[in-house]
Amino acid sequence: MSEKASGDKVIGFLNRVICHAARALAVIMTLLILWGVADVVYVLYQRLINPSNPFMLLEIRDILATFGASWRY
């Protein structure tokens, strides 16, 4: 086997590894985005249903707390 054919096989293998790694990362990033959206929806729902606040009313501090912005009470 020549050196060029051996190098082509290594490059082909590495190319497949990179493609599979990129696909795996794309799936993980998509799941992470969906998880974050679901978390925001859940937190907003919990704050809207909270009996201590008027029904379906959010204050600016609730919105800032939901999205992780620092807020001093």
- Dump pLDDT digits (tens) for 2-40: 556 667 999 999 999 999 999 999 999 999 999 988 888
Does pTM top 0.75 for this prediction? no
Q: Which residue's structure tokens are 């799936």? A: 27
Q: Which of 15-19, 35-39, 47-51, 59-63 has the highest mean pLDDT?
A: 15-19
Q: Map out the domains of the chain as residue ranges.
A: 3-66
Q: What's the CA gap between 13 and 18, in Å, rounded?
A: 9
Average pLDDT over residues 43-66: 75
Q: Which residue's structure tokens are 């029904």? A: 55
The pLDDT of residue 2: 56
